[in-house]
Structure 1
Amino acid sequence: MRRPDGPLISAEHLQRARNSAAPPVLLDVSWSLGSESQRAAYDREHLPGAAWVEFEGALSGLPGEQGRHPMPEVAAFTAALRAAGVRNDSHVVVYDRENSLSAARLWWLLKHAGHEAVQVLDGGMRRWLALGLPTNHDPVIPTPGDFVATPPHRQVLSAEDAADYADRHVLLDARPAPRFHGRQETIDPIAGHIPGAVSAPALNNLQEDGRFLPADDLAVHLTRVGVRPGAPVGVYCGSGVQAMHTALAIEAAQVGAEPAVYVGSWSHWITDPERPIAT
């Protein structure tokens, strides 16, 4: 299958693709930190033909020493994607209901697993509804796919790697600025950031309607926080979700090298009291 043009697909383009001879596999991966599963919301309304993928378990391992949302087990990830109907030759489009954070997580994990034909619906379900495009509540029972994960195809940073990026390259912290500065830590037990990291909140990459900034504006914004064409760039956040969202933004803007992600992020960094903390 031909590799899609860029990591994002507009709602208008997706609507046309749905009616083509080879429609994409649609996946709803809606999720919100600290909230119950959004499966019930999916059952009430989803894009026509979209299969459900549960964030917890499929897109994240168990919380622990590796952080709040470590990499999922390959077997669990593979089983979830096969159950959702993903084949090795599938063009996959993923979406969620809020800011594309969980959709970007699945986008990055599929890329890491070697599946290049994957895009995120720009603006997610919010944009889809704003355009008056169709939804339904019909049960979706996909034909099981033959997806095979073959990681690693994306660079994953260890804590030591992240510190090295902060020292020698660029390491972006994708959390909201108050958490980066240690003024308002609402999730993790220790506040602050990795010394040398640069604050680059993931949601600053979005427009008010939930879509990403236009590519040129996104490139200017990311350049201001230190991303340079072709130069190595690493990204982390609280637990690897907003980091993958920022990785998607960097690729959409076509600036910097392919981003490396510290998946354990701050929730892993603070498990070792010997690691330094800046505020």
Structure 2
Amino acid sequence: MNTIVSAADLAAEMGAGPAPALLDVRYERAGPSGRAAYAAGHIAGAVYVDLEAELAGPAGAGGRHPLPEAAVFGEAMRRAGVSGSSRVVVYDGGQGWAAARAWWTLRWAGHGDVRVLDGGLPAWTAAGGELATGQTAPGRGDFTPEPGALPVLDADDAATLARTGVLLDARAAARYRGEVEPLDPVAGHIPGAVSAPTAENLRPDGTLRSARELAGRFAALGVAADGGGVGVYCGSGVSAAQQVLALAVAGIDAALYVGSWSEWSADPARPAATGSQPG
């Protein structure tokens, strides 16, 4: 599975020939759209993609960031110049959550060549990469989504996997323990899930830890080397995508519970565990 590209390698690739389709997916939870930041400075050739409107459907019973309608997502990708044969690179402001959601959604929709810029835009500028301003108008792409290329969990699947495999909770540990809950109606975690905050996948500079380090981290959390029976959730299926990406870097396939805690906690019939243990 295609996963990440360093800033240096991306720059070399862009200098050696036709650039990949570049998607700027900067996103701030509960903050303003990343469109203004994109206009103020982005990697030359990149097109802005709105996570809320184009990488997710409307919030509702399926959570805050359910899967987008295939037609809406496909149109957004074609507008951004993505074709079925394109090499695609996605980036965000550095945390990797939004870029990973774009990577995952494209891979789920059947695109075979998608990478995340490791460390995002901060890594690009730190490596001496220049920024362009204004808007980019690429040629229209021809990508047509064929959803289902990556595994997805629903609430029942997540509950079962927490008992029979390994279900990783990608949120901050305090939210997992139920000590705080800034967004959803109930605090805690899915019973049986294991706390695995996404921040621990990163080095201090915001790039992903090495494949060996990540494999060791996930092994310590109970994930088998062959990845059998692994799923991830978070608050609304965004930061969990970064965990799926980190698992892929470690050579482990994992399923994403897209509805995540925002869907689970909205259903009064679903139990919530608290404390530091899976429960």
- Report what 1:36 is aligned to: 32
Which of 61, 81, 89 is matched with 2:77 structurally?
81
Count of matched residue pairs: 273
- Report what 1:271 is aligned to: 266
List per-residue Cα deviations over 1:35-74 (Å, max 9, x = no partner). 0101001001000111111111100111111101100111
1:1-279 map, 5 Å: 6-230=2-226, 231-255=228-252, 258-279=253-274
User: Residues of 1 paired with 2:135 and 2:27: CA distance?
Assistant: 19
SS of the counterpart of 1:19?
helix
Matched-pair identity in %: 47
Structure 1, 183-192 or 166-175: larger mean CA deviation: 183-192
User: Residues of 1 paired with 2:146 and 2:219: CA distance?
Assistant: 32
User: Residues of 1 paired with 2:200 and 2:134: CA distance?
Assistant: 35
Unmatched tracts of structure 1, length 5 or more: none
Unmatched tracts of structure 2, length 5 or more: 275-279
Structure 1, 130-139 or 51-60: larger mean CA deviation: 130-139
User: Residues of 2 paired with 1:263 and 1:217: CA distance?
Assistant: 26
Deviation at 1:33, TM superposition (A): 0.5
User: Residues of 1 paired with 2:8 and 2:237: CA distance?
Assistant: 30
Question: Normalised by the size of structure 1, how large is the TM-score?
Answer: 0.96
Deviation at 1:138, TM superposition (A): 4.2
Deviation at 1:186, TM superposition (A): 1.4
Runs of 4+ in 1 over 4 A off after TM superposition: none
User: Residues of 1 paired with 2:100 and 2:127: CA distance?
Assistant: 22
User: Residues of 2 paired with 1:41 and 1:23: CA distance?
Assistant: 22
SS of the counterpart of 1:218?
helix
User: Residues of 2 paired with 1:15 and 1:9: CA distance?
Assistant: 10
List per-residue Cα deviations over 1:188-210 (Å, max 9, x = no partner). 12100000000001121011111
- The change in CA–CA distance for 1:139 and 1:274 in structure 2 (over 3 A counts) is closer
RMSD (Å) for aligned C-alpha atoms = 1.0
Could you tell me which amino acid in structure 2 is paired with residue 251 of structure 1?
A: A
Deviation at 1:265, TM superposition (A): 0.3
List per-residue Cα deviations over 1:95-137 (Å, max 9, x = no partner). 0013111000000000100001000000000111111211111
User: Residues of 1 paired with 2:206 and 2:132: CA distance?
Assistant: 22
